[in-house]
Structure 1
Amino acid sequence: MYNMLTGIRIGVSRCQAKAARPLTDADYTARHKFSFDIVGNELTPSVRYDFKFKDYAPWVFRELREYFYLDPSDYLMSLTSKYILSELGSPGKSGSFFYFSRDYRFIIKTIRHSEHKFLRSILKEYHEHVKRNPHTLLSRFYGLHRVKLPHGRKIHFVIMNNLFPPHRDIHETYDLKGSAIGRLYPEDKAAANPHAVLKDLNWVGRNRQFALGPEKKALFEEQLRRDTELLQRLGIMDYSLLTGIHNGVRGNSEGLREDKLSVFQPAKVKVSRKPTQVKRDADASALRKAVQQSDPQALGGKHELPEHDNSERRMFLFYQDEGGMRASGDSNEDLGAIYYLGIIDILTPYTCVKRLEHFFKGFQHNKHMISAVPPREYGDRFLAFIKSSIRGNDVSTRPQMFEHEPKHDQAHKAEVSEKEASASGPVPPAPPPQEAVIDPEKAQRGREEMQQRAGPSIVTSS
């Protein structure tokens, strides 16, 4: 982490110090390399190093940061301060690690090499889309970097916006894809975990809807359509609409933000900058040890999150209400909740691996209900599901799979519960049945039908 922050500070500062100029095609593929010692001195390539840092397309990301109204000084101050935040439970399902800037505005996310290459391949189209659509809902990329230790693996990472605010608790979180298979988070676990990321079937089962009011509804649907069309055109799938809901009645009384964060802060070691002697310097050795042994501590005390949103997000349509969008009725009246949402995980192309996944999972389930479907179908399904989740829209436009899948999951949960109960011990006796009221004529007809189906081998007596 220390190496990442040092590289960001040097790389961004170098680019920002130069006079602005128009972008060229070469800027989209540019790579700038740096070598550093542990103190942060830049070294010549032939000298032994503590870590190497590579900055990708710095001029492109500089312009993207300008489109997003990021002040260079604030950006560097947020990312390269003396401590950084980590979300408890990292890494995620993808194996990526998430770190937050000290003010919770930015995310440092490690990514796979394949994702790194893919982002570079679509960077020009992404840049043009942001330029034409300043209010885009897509993840906002602020920098793409790589760090390498001696004899160590290369770590690729990206700097992104944090959708969730530093000054508001998020009471419900949903990851919405528009698919049904495997898209249910167990409700009993959700009740015990306020940080659980719920899924599509939870959203449907809880009858959640976006209440946006007529004007915001129209603008939101149009921007969603434009962003989805770009992802379809680039052959991307597996993205989702990350949605956080702040309940105005509950407010921040539960302290949910601080509960899930820890602080990375190396011990303070005084060093002298001696580039030619740093490898032999005892001070440098002490600093290396302090960095390696830095232990995450729970957030608290002097490491407090901001209580107000003073960020650039207020410049954008869907983030201007306390960093999000207020829930509103048909007359734009305030309904007491705030939505924080955006399209995430946009670096997964429909590759051969995804085609195979679609092929094999299509044998086990309805091939239109799984996540791995071709980009055109994925985008159409995603757009239809999100639009059907907006209050005032026709729910019948929702993909048909959601009309049946919840019943299947309920039956599955009942079957699992029955197995668990039988494994844990004897089942308590059922209560005695209530006395039934029998219609004599229906009973007689039933006996006659049974006798006819049984045939002459059964003899009945009257």
Structure 2
Amino acid sequence: MGVFQSVGGAATSGRGFTGHQVAEALKVAAQGQSERHQERVRADGGGNAGAHGHRRTRSTVVQSLGDLTDESFTDTAEYRSVLKGDGNESVELVVTEYAPEVFRYLRQLEGVLETQFSKEWDIPEERLKLELGEGRSMAMFLKSRSMEFMCKTISDVEVNVLLGILKHYATHLSSNRHSLLMRFLMLLKVQVKDEIGYILCFADIFAGCNLLNERWDIKGRRPKPGKYRQFPAWAEEQSRRNTSINDPAPTHNRRASYDPTALQQQGSVGPIPHLGGDKLLTRKDKDLTRLFWLEEEHREELLDQLTQDFQFLRGCGLMDYSVLIGVRYDQGSGPSANVPARSMRMTYALGEEGQRDIKEIRSICREGSPEISFRFDPNVITHNSKYHYGVTSMQGHETYYIGIIDMLTTYNWKKKTANFCKTFLWTPATLSTIPPKAYEQRIDKYSHRIFASAESAAKADEHD
């Protein structure tokens, strides 16, 4: 089935696919879904409301979770497309879309226009290259035209996991509009000749960010002996000495906002997005030498949502997921804007100080661009998360972009075997292959530690 195994990692699929084939599969499925739904709208009689009181928009029918039947979660739709291969050879793509109405509902929760979603996969030729991910699964990634969305190759095992939890996942998102779980938007099976692969499309957690200075993939585990730089206790102690955490916080809303004019002035806005600057390394728990500082109100809101999401994943029997954190450095504002906040910047080992200036420039589409329309349909009441454009740190020195990723791993016999073998070498605190309950408790506790506030630091001082 085109599935291969990386050394020490999980399996993926579609090893022989090209970026052109993946983009075409997504475009064909999105166009097919849009056409099918338009036919349904016309068959429903037009007008301002459907038989069930739906509110119509230009491209869709707003539906509720209750409109999805049990069959909606097992339905499939098949599409075919022919591409020109090497030497003008014609290559047929057979595309199977899983649970099309369910994923259309999930796209609706994100406010994604169906017509625009298909255009997102009309990608310029120079960007039609699959990118190898940094994880051990060796998954291949492709970013959409506006970089609002991404897709990756996954294994058949992950497909089965996602389909198994899909109803619970849709229910959770429908009642938790600010959930930090990654937003799945489409799931496909693609066959090219004898090659079969599975493509998962999802919203990019960093879509609302125009520039990144740090990127973290956090699992909450203690680094193995000899592999860590400094553990957060060091950063916590340093932060209390070097950060003016008792300064009064600015009174205005600290949440980051989307400002197309400001982004255009920074030179990062354009009709055809691109990556600029440097490619950031994704750093892990072992590299963590800092905390992520928030005002207490925003910290409590964030941690409450993370806890709800962790508990959902635990209830689904999932583990080995990560909290992905992107950091953008800001100038800061308020009475303490000029105070150095050392704990709000990553520290570097001797000889690595030059990495401090590395940054990854990302583009965000202009609203009303003639080439790419804005992502959201203003006629749809969306459940788009308030964290889409990030949350601003205490003192305004940074903006954090946060999401939960890689959440399709169950505690199966492979993980149990790995846990049994690894416990002879390392303590459970250093392992990610632990049962869902223990994993949820550990990463939740760790999140409460690394997302800090002046109040939480003061409480920690009292217990010292």
Residue 400 of structure 2 corresponds to residue 305 of structure 1: no
Q: 1:130 to 1:99 in 2, by over 3 A?
A: same
Match of 1:257 among 354, 357, 360: 360
The offset of 1:185, in angstroms, is 7.0
Amino acid at match of 2:26: I
CA distance in structure 1 between the partners assigned to 2:295 and 2:117 by the alignment: 34
CA displacement 1:255-278 (0-9 Å, x = unmatched): 8436xxxxxxxxxxxxxxxxxxxx
Q: 1:405-438: per-residue Cα shift (whole Å, max 9, x none)? A: xxxxxxxxxxxxxxxxxxxxxxxxxxxxxxxxxx
Find the counterpart in structure 2 of residue 266 from structure 1.
none
Alignment correspondent of 2:238: none
Question: CA 1:183–1:27 in structure 2 vs 1: closer, same or farther (change >3 Å)?
Answer: farther
Find the counterpart in structure 1 of residue 285 from structure 2.
Answer: 200
Larger radius of gyration between Structure 1 and Structure 2:
1
Aligned residue number for residue 103 of structure 1 = 146
**Residues 62-94 of structure 1: per-residue CA shift (max 9 Å, x gap):** 000111111222222222344446576546421
Shift of 1:182: 4.5
Could you tell me whether the CA contact under 8 Å between 2:146 and 2:365 is conserved in 1? Answer: no
For 1:97 and 1:315, locate their aligned partners in 2 and report how far apart those are by CA, in whole Å: 27
Summarize the Cα distance change of 1:311–1:15 in structure 2 as closer, same or farther, 3 Å threshold.
closer
**Structure 1 position 100, deviation (Å):** 0.5
TM-score (norm 1): 0.64
Residues 169 and 255 in structure 1, CA contact (< 8 A), matched pair in contact too? no
What does the per-residue CA deviation read over 1:109-155, in whole Å, with 9 as the maximum and x for residues that have no partner? 1111111111111111101001111111001000000111112x211
Change (3 A) 1:245 1:183: farther
CA distance in 1, matches of 2:192, 2:226: 40
Secondary structure of the equivalent of 2:185? strand
Residues 158-186 of structure 1: CA deviation (Å, up to 9, x unaligned): 00111124752211111111112459877
Aligned to 2:324: 242
Among 105, 108, 122, the alignment partner of 1:63 is 105
Aligned to 2:274: none
The one-letter code of the counterpart of 1:134 is R
Instruction: Say whether 1:26 aligns with 2:111.
Output: no
Q: Distance in 1 between matches of 2:383 and 2:33?
A: 26
Q: In 2, are the aligned partners of 1:384 and 1:397 still within 8 Å (CA)?
A: no
CA contact (8 A) 1:237 1:378 kept: yes
Question: Which of residues 307, 317, 325 is equivalent to 2:391?
Answer: 325
1:127 is aligned, of 170, 173, 182, to 170
Gaps of 5+ in 2: 1-18, 42-60, 231-277, 333-355, 368-373, 377-381
Structure 1 residue 390: Cα displacement: 2.0
Equivalence for 1:298: none
The answer to whether the Cα contact below 8 Å between 1:181 and 1:371 also exists between their aligned partners in 2 is no
Query: Relative contact order, CA 8 A, sep 6+: which one is greater?
Result: 2
In structure 1, the residue matched to 2:385 is 316
User: Which string of whole-angstrom CA distances, capped at 9 and with x for unpartnered residues, describes residues 327-369 of structure 1?
Assistant: 12xxxxx422110110000000110111111111111111233
Query: Shift of residue 254 of structure 1?
Result: 6.7
Looking at structure 1, the residues matched to 200 and 407 of structure 2 have their Cα atoms a distance apart, in angstroms, of 13
Match of 1:292?
A: none
Moved more, 116-125 or 388-397: 388-397
Cα pair distance change 1:218/1:186, threshold 3 Å: closer
Deviations 1:197-229 (A, max 9, x none): 1111322xx2x2222212211211111111001
SS at match of 1:55: strand
Q: Equivalent residues in 2 for 1:126-275 (5 A)?
A: 126-151=169-194, 153-165=195-207, 168-182=210-224, 195-203=280-288, 206=289, 208-249=290-331, 256-257=359-360
Amino acid at match of 1:361: K
SS at match of 1:340: strand
Is residue 171–residue 194 contact of structure 1 (8 Å, CA) maintained in 2?
no
Task: For residue 37 of structure 1, report the CA deviation from its aligned partner.
Answer: 2.1
Aligned residue for 1:37, secondary structure, equals strand
Secondary structure of residue in 1 paired with 2:387: helix
SS of residue matched to 2:308: helix
Contact 2:78 2:95 in 1 (8 A): yes
Separation (CA, whole Å) in 2 of partners of 1:244 and 1:16: 33
Aligned-pair CA distance for 1:13: 2.5
In the superposition, relative to structure 1, how do residues 339 and 57 fare at CA in structure 2: closer, same or farther (>3 Å)?
A: same
Q: 1:5 and 1:126, CA in 2 relative to 1: closer, same or farther beyond 3 A? A: same
Tell me how far apart the structure 1 counterparts of residues 228 and 129 of structure 2 sit (CA, whole Å). Answer: 25
Q: Please show how residues 425-440 of structure 1 align to structure 2 within 5 Å.
A: none
Aligned-pair RMSD on alpha carbons?
A: 3.2
Q: In 2 relative to 1, CA 242–78 (structure 1 residues): closer, same or farther, beyond 3 Å?
A: same
Secondary structure in 1 matching 2:419: helix
| Other structure's SS at 2:452 match | coil
Q: Deviations over 1:250-309 (max 9, x none)?
A: 9xx978436xxxxxxxxxxxxxxxxxxxxxxxxxxxxxxxxxxxxxxxxxxxxx934768
Distance 1:95 1:60, change over 3 A: same
Question: Which region of structure 1 is more displaced relative to structure 2, 93-102 or 53-62?
Answer: 93-102
State percent identity of aligned pairs.
Answer: 24
Contact 1:242/1:341, CA 8 A, preserved across alignment:
yes
Q: Alpha-carbon deviation of 1:374?
A: 0.5
Determine which structure has the larger helix proportion and give its number: 1
